[in-house]
Structure 1
Amino acid sequence: MIGIVERGRDDELHDRSGAANVPPARRASIAAMSARRVSVAVAAFALLASTACNEVDRTRWKARLGASDAQRALGERFAAGDGVERNLDEAFAWLEKAAGSGSVAAQLRLVALYGERAGPDDAARAERWLRAAAEAGDAHAQAMLADRILAGGGDSAEAAKWIERAAEAGDPRGQLEQARRLAREGGKDAEVLDLITRSAQQGDADAAWELARAGARGAAGIDAEATQRWLLAAAEAGQPAAEHALGDRYAAGNGVERDFAQARTWYERSASQGYAPAQEALGFAYQTGRGADVIPTEAAKWYRLAAEQKQPASMNQLGLLYALGLLPDEETAEQISFYTTSSGQHVSDVAEQLEKVAAVARKNNDRHAVEWYRRAAEAGFTPAIANLAKMIEKGRGTDADPAEALRLYQRAAEQGDAVALAEMARRYSRGDGVAKDPEASLRALQGAAEAGHTQAQIMLATMYASGTGVAADSAQAAKWFRAALDAGAEDAEVPYGTLLATGDGITRDDAAARALFEKAAKRGDAAAQWSLGRFAEEGRGGMTADPREAIKWWKLAAQQGQPYAQAKLGMAYVYGKGTPTNYVEGYAWLAASDVPDAKVLVQEMEKKMPPSLIAKGKKLADERRALREPKPPAPKS
C-alpha cells in the first residue's frame, strides 16, 4: 500500500510540476491512469480482507504487491506443493524476489533448494545467496559459508573469519568450528572446552559428541557422569558415531548395565545412517546372537554394507560366514530346497543327489570365502591373512599350496596375529614346514598368548605349571590361566581353581576355587567333580565336611574315568566312609584306577578276599577301566 500511494504522489507532483507544459489530453490520460492504480489497490485490499479469499490467495496478492515475507511464503508453498500444485520454477522465482529484497530466510531456503536440485549453475547460485545471508549477519549462514569454503579448498583465512564471526554471534556450529580451529593451534584448552560446551548446550550433536570423546580420554572437567550424559545427548540427537559408541557401552557394560538388546538398538540407529562401524557391529550381533537372533544372512547384509565402505573386518567376517557354510549358495539353493522338501522325496537316490549338490554348494562357499579373505588381506587386515593361509593350506576354495600357506602364516605372525603365531608355534615345535626350533616355538607361543589367543595362554600356563620346555613358575602359570579365564575360556577354570586351592603361585582362596570347580562340574567336567569331592571331604571353601557329598561328586567323576576319583570311591567302599562297606565295589574301583597307592591296597585285599569275589571285582574293574579309554569322535550330523 505504501508503495502504491507513494507512486501516486510522485505522479501528482510530476503532474503539478509540469502542468503548464502538458497538453490537456495528456493531463486527462495521466489522471485516468492514477485512478486505475488506486482502484486496483483498493480492490486488492478489499479482496485480502474478504473472508471469501483463502490463505493462498491472500499470500499470492501480498507477494504480487511486493511483500517479501509473502513472496518467501509463496515460494515455500510452491516448493512443497502446499495448497498449490508443486512447481519448483515458481518456487525459485518467488524466493529469488524475497531474497533480493533482503530476506535471509529466503536466501537460506534457496541455498538448500539449489543444493538439492544440483543443476549446472546451482552451486554458484547457492553460494551467492549463502554469502548474501552471511554478509547480512546471519550467524548460521556464516558457519555454513566457512564449511563450504574449506570443503572446496578455498581461502582458509576467509573461512576462519566467518567462523570467528559466527562463534561471536553465538551460533553453535560456529562455536564448535572455532573450538576445533583453536585446538589445532594448541595451548588453548580452556577456551576450546568452553566453546564446545556452549555449542553442546545449544543442542549441537557434534559438540556433545566431542565432549563425550574428551571425557572418555580423561579431559579435565568432564567426569564419567558428564561423559555419559553428553554421549547420550549426542546419540539421542542422531549423531551416528555417538549412537555407535553408546551401543558399544551397552555391549561392554561400560558405564551402564550390560544390555546387548540396547546395544543392538543403538547400532541399528547408527547403521541406518550409513555409519560403517555400526553396520559392522550390527552384523556381529546377528552373527553371534548378542542382542539379536542368530541370523547369518542378516549378519551378511550388514557386513556387505560395511565392506562397501572399505571396512576390512567386515570383509573378513563375510569370508568366515562363507567358510563355515552359514550362507546359502545361490547356484544350488533351488536344488537343495527341492531335495530337502516333500517335492524331492520321490527320488530314489535323494540322499546321494543331495550330497552331490551340497558338495557343489560347499565348493562355491569356499570360493566366496577365499575372495573375501583376499580382499580383507589386501586391505591390510591381519586376521584375514591367517584365515586365507588356512584355506590355501587345506585347498579349500583354491588350489592347495603349502608353501604359500606358510608364507602367509609367517607374514601374519610377523604382524602379531594370534592365530598365526599359535600356528607357527605348532610348526616350530614339530618341524612342520620349518626347521624344528623349540626356542622359536616358545617365542611364538608367548606372542600368541600376549595377543589374546586363549588356547596358547592355557598351553603356556600348563608348561609353566609342569616345567615342560620352560623353568617351572607357578606365578606365570597362574597369570596365564587367569588371562584365559578372563577371556572366557572354560578350559582354564579347573587348572586356575587348582592353583587357588593350593596357593601355588597365587594367594590361596578356597571360596574362589570352589566357585570355579562348581561351575565346571555342572558342565560335567570330571576333574572339577573330583576336586569338589575333595572339598566336601575336607570341609573347604565354605562346604560342610560330608563324606556322602564327597562320594556323590567322586562317583560322577569316576564314571567318566577320572582315576583319582575312582581310587577315592574305592577306598570309601572299602572303609565304609559315607557309604555301606562293599569290598567288591571297593576292589573294582581301586583296581580300575591304576593309581599306585590303590594298587598296594588291591594287593592287600587279594590276600583276604575269597577268589570268587576277587574274580567278580576284576571283571568290574576291567569294565570301569575302559571308562578311561578315549571315546571315538561323535559322528558328524
Structure 2
Amino acid sequence: MLDAQLNPKIIESAEHEDRTRCRAVHAYLPPYPQDAEDRGIQGQVYVEFSVMPDGRSRNPRIILAVPQGTFERSVRDGLLHSEFVSAPAERSPIQCTMFYRFVMEGAVGYSRLDAYVEETLAHARAGDPRAQMLYGMLLVGLPQLNKPRSQALPWFLKSAQAGMPVAQYQVGYSLLKGWGCNCEENKGLDWLRRAAQAGQPDAEVTLAMYALKGSPDQERLRQARLWLEQAAAGGSHDGKLYLSALLATASEAEGGDPRRALTLLGEVFRGVKDDPTAFEIRAAAQASAGEFREAVQSERQAVAMAQRLKWDVTPLNERLTHYMGNQPWRRSLLDF
C-alpha cells in the first residue's frame, strides 16, 4: 500500500468543470480500419481530449489502446471531425474523456456493452487491478453511463495502489485538475512522478506541461524537455508532438531546434493530411529557422483546414501575422 496521505479527498459529484460541454452534438464515426476488419481484430480505446470554446476538440491523448497501434488513428480522426457543445469565446478549454469499443458486426463471443460493463465490475470487485482501472475508465468515458469522476476515482485509486502506472496517472491528473476530488497539486505531482518513473508517457507529458506553465525559467524548461525527451524516446505520440512544438518555438538560447522539430513532426503526422496542428508546428519551425515564406504558406494551410473544421482561427491568424512580418512565434502552440 502506498502512503495514505497521498489519497485524494473525494467529493461526491464534484467535477469542477461543466461536463455538458463534453457532449457530442455531431459525432463523426470513422470507418472501421480496413486492416483490422480484414484480420478480424476488435478492441477498445480510452482517450482524453480538450474541447475548445468553439465546440471542437484538440489533441486527443490516447491513454489506453487494446491492441496498440490499431484503432488510435480512427479515434483521433473521429474526434477531430466531431462537434461538441460550444461556449463563449472567453471560456477556457475543458478536459473530456471518451471510451470507444470497436466490435465487428455479427461478432461471436464479444460481449454486449451492458454485459461487458458488468463483467468488468465483477473482476474489479474481485480485486483485479487492471479491471479496476478499466471500470473507472468505463464510468467516465462511456456517454451511456455518464458517471461523475468522483465515482470512478475510488477504482482508479485501488488500481494505483496496486502499482498500475496508468491508474497512478489517472489519480495524479484528477488531483491536479480537481476532478472528483479536492484540487491538491502536490499530491497530484507525487502520483504523476510515480507513474512517470515507471515509464507512463502521459504522466511524463503532463509533468512537462506543468513545468511550462506561466513564464518558465531555464530550469523549468530543462525539466520539461527532459520529461518530453523521455516520453518521445518511448515512442509516445504526444511526447513527440509536444517536444516538436517546444523545439519549434524555443529560441536557440533556450534549446530550440527547428530541424529536429520537423523530423519529430513527420513521425507523428505520417499519413495525416487534415489536422491543422501539424501545419501549425511546421510553420513555427520554419519561421524559427528563418524560412518565413515557407512558414506563411504552412500557416495558411493550417488556417484553411481549421476553417473547414469550424475552428476559431483567431490564434492561427495571429501567428500568420507574425510570420508575414518575418517574426518567429515564441509562445506556446498547444495551450489546450
Structure 1's 122 and 285: CA in aligned 2 closer, same or farther, altered over 3 A?
closer
Report if aligned partners of 2:299, 2:320 keep a CA contact under 8 Å in 1: yes
| Corresponding residue number in structure 2 for 1:302 | 264
Higher alpha-carbon Rg: 1
1:217 and 2:177 are equivalent in the alignment = yes
TM-score by length of 1: 0.30
Shift of 1:281: 2.8
Distance 1:188 1:318 in 2: 38
- The one-letter code of the counterpart of 1:151 is F
Report if aligned partners of 1:271, 1:278 keep a CA contact under 8 Å in 2: yes
Report if aligned partners of 1:248, 1:263 keep a CA contact under 8 Å in 2: yes
Structure 1's 371 and 120: CA in aligned 2 closer, same or farther, altered over 3 A?
same
Distance 2:252 2:238 in 1: 16
Sequence identity percentage: 21
Distance 2:190 2:153 in 1: 16
- The structure carrying a bigger helix percent of its residues is 1
Structure 1: segments with no counterpart, 5+ residues: 1-117, 127-143, 328-364, 397-418, 420-451, 453-637
Structure 2: segments with no counterpart, 5+ residues: 1-35, 44-65, 72-98, 105-109, 332-336
Note the 1:358-437 alignment, pairs <5 A: 366=293, 368-380=294-306, 382=313, 383-388=315-320
| Corresponding residue number in structure 1 for 2:96 | none
Distance 2:213 2:228 in 1: 13
| Corresponding residue number in structure 2 for 1:168 | 125
Q: Which residue, out of 169, 188, 201, partners 2:161?
A: 201
Q: How many residues align?
A: 222
Report if aligned partners of 2:218, 2:254 keep a CA contact under 8 Å in 1: no
Shift of 1:199: 0.7
- The one-letter code of the counterpart of 2:317 is I
After superposition, the C-alpha distances for 1:499-548 in whole angstroms (9 at most, x for unaligned) are: xxxxxxxxxxxxxxxxxxxxxxxxxxxxxxxxxxxxxxxxxxxxxxxxxx
| Corresponding residue number in structure 2 for 1:322 | 286
Distance 2:39 2:184 in 1: 50
1:157 and 2:114 are equivalent in the alignment = yes
1:178 and 2:135 are equivalent in the alignment = yes
Distance 1:224 1:390 in 2: 35
Distance 2:197 2:252 in 1: 22
Distance 1:390 1:224 in 2: 35
Note the 1:69-148 alignment, pairs <5 A: none
Aligned-partner SS, 2:212? helix
Distance 2:203 2:239 in 1: 10
Structure 1's 169 and 253: CA in aligned 2 closer, same or farther, altered over 3 A?
farther
After superposition, the C-alpha distances for 1:49-99 in whole angstroms (9 at most, x for unaligned) are: xxxxxxxxxxxxxxxxxxxxxxxxxxxxxxxxxxxxxxxxxxxxxxxxxxx
Structure 1's 283 and 166: CA in aligned 2 closer, same or farther, altered over 3 A?
same
Note the 1:534-573 alignment, pairs <5 A: none
- The structure carrying a bigger strand percent of its residues is 2
| Corresponding residue number in structure 2 for 1:113 | none
Shift of 1:372: 1.4
Q: Whose relative contact order is higher, 1 or 2, with alpha carbons under 8 Å and at least 6 apart?
A: 2
Structure 1's 317 and 223: CA in aligned 2 closer, same or farther, altered over 3 A?
closer
Structure 1's 122 and 227: CA in aligned 2 closer, same or farther, altered over 3 A?
same
Distance 1:289 1:389 in 2: 19
Shift of 1:271: 2.5
Shift of 1:167: 0.9
Note the 1:566-585 alignment, pairs <5 A: none
Distance 1:233 1:186 in 2: 29
Shift of 1:210: 1.4
1:293 and 2:255 are equivalent in the alignment = yes
TM-score by length of 2: 0.52
